Amino acid sequence: MADPLHQFQIQKIVELPTVEVAGIPIDLSITNSVMAMIIGTGAVILFFLFATARTAIIPGRMQVMAEGLFGLIDDLAESIIGDEGRHFFPFIFTLFLFILSLNLVGMTTYFTATSQLAVTAALAVLTIGAVIVVGFARNGLGFFKLFVPSGVPWWILPLIVVIEIVSFLMRPITLSLRLFGNMVGGHIVMKVFAGFVVALAGLGIGGVVGAVLPLLSVVALTALEFLVAYLQAFVFAVLTCVYLNDVVNLGHH
């Protein structure tokens, strides 16, 4: 049976020199992971270029799809953050489309960039970084009020503050591991079941009959994985909105 982890192996497509920055070697080669990002992002940009090429009051099919995605995230940002959600919409929309496109590229049997911890961790750090920057820009040092919830008796404050700080620090970790785990797990399971099909079918007539069950499982799992691909992108966008809301409306809760 093929190694189910092989699909996550980084491979180089275009060899580029390694640059050393502050003692850290950065291999700038275009790998299959980078290629998946280029394909996904390129598809998103092409789609929106076509969809918004001739915008009309009465939209075409492409425009309806683009407006559907736009409205989905716009409503989300507005419902969670409020009127100021509009300022952060481009960032949230970019995150959503980036993750969704990478997940969907992964579903086409090409490389799944969102199954790389480096990618999900970078996205999580980017998000939390944006939250921290927005928090300081909006509230200055009042940002630290985030860790001191109001209406708490003074004698449990030390405990609460510690818990709040730890929970804040956990955010990038949970953000990155949630996406990473979902994509890795789903793709391993699919690969394992697909491996069963091949292995059983190789055993002869009885094996072919036995291979029907894992084949049906793979079909069902593929549908499930498409759902997960969308859902994880959406969850990432929702959590980004929630975290941004914490710092944007810091004084209002």
Partner 1 sequence: MSAANDTLAMSPAAEPSDTAPVTTVATLDPVATAPADAHADTHESTEHAGGEAHAKGLPQFQTEHWAGQIVWLVIIFTILYIAIAKMFAPKLRGVISTRGSTISEDLANARAIRDEAEAQAKMSAEETAAAHAAARKLASDAKAKAAAESAKVQAEEDAKLNALIEDAETSIRASRDKAMAYVEDIATETASVLVEKLTGKAATKTALKAALSKA
Per the CB < 8 A criterion, the answer to whether 99 and 232 are in contact is: yes
d(CA 100, CA 81): 22
CB 77 → partner 1: shortest distance, Å?
11
Listed in sequence order, the residues at least 6 apart from 60 whose beta carbon sits closer than 8 Å to its beta carbon are 54
Listed in sequence order, the residues at least 6 apart from 127 whose beta carbon sits closer than 8 Å to its beta carbon are 95, 172, 175, 236, 239, 240, 243
CB 137 → partner 1: shortest distance, Å?
17
The alpha carbon dihedral of 166, 172, 176, 179 has a sign of: positive
Q: Which of 95, 40, 67 is nearest to 243 (CA)?
A: 95
115 near partner 1, judged by CB under 8 A? yes
Instruction: Mark residue 109 as left, alpha or beta (left: phi above 0; alpha: psi -120 to 50; beta: remaining).
Output: left
Measured from the CB atom, the residue of 32 and 217 that comes closer to partner 1 is 32
Q: Which residues pair with 24 in a beta bridge?
A: 21
CB 123 → partner 1: shortest distance, Å?
7
CB 242 → partner 1: shortest distance, Å?
20
Window 216-245: contact mask with partner 1 (x via CB under 8 A): ------------------------------
34 near partner 1, judged by CB under 8 A? yes
Listed in sequence order, the residues at least 6 apart from 132 whose beta carbon sits closer than 8 Å to its beta carbon are 143, 247
Q: Which of 183, 197, 193 is nearest to 225 (CA)?
A: 183
31 near partner 1, judged by CB under 8 A? yes
CB 87 → partner 1: shortest distance, Å?
11
The binder of partner 1 chosen from 50, 108, 122, 162 (CB under 8 A): 122
Window 69-108: contact mask with partner 1 (x via CB under 8 A): -xx--x--------------xxx-xx--xx----------
Maximum alpha-carbon separation in the chain: 73
Name the segment binding partner 1 (CB under 8 A); options: 116-124, 141-149, 211-219, 234-242.
116-124
The binder of partner 1 chosen from 62, 65, 126, 161 (CB under 8 A): 126
Per the CB < 8 A criterion, the answer to whether 151 and 208 are in contact is: no
193 near partner 1, judged by CB under 8 A? no
137 near partner 1, judged by CB under 8 A? no
Name the segment binding partner 1 (CB under 8 A); options: 23-31, 148-156, 198-206, 230-238.
23-31
Listed in sequence order, the residues at least 6 apart from 34 whose beta carbon sits closer than 8 Å to its beta carbon are 13, 113
Which positions lie near partner 1, rule CB under 8 A?
2-3, 5-6, 8-13, 15, 18, 24-34, 37-38, 41, 44-45, 48, 52, 55-57, 59, 63, 66-67, 70-71, 74, 89-91, 93-94, 97-98, 113, 115-119, 122-123, 126, 180, 184
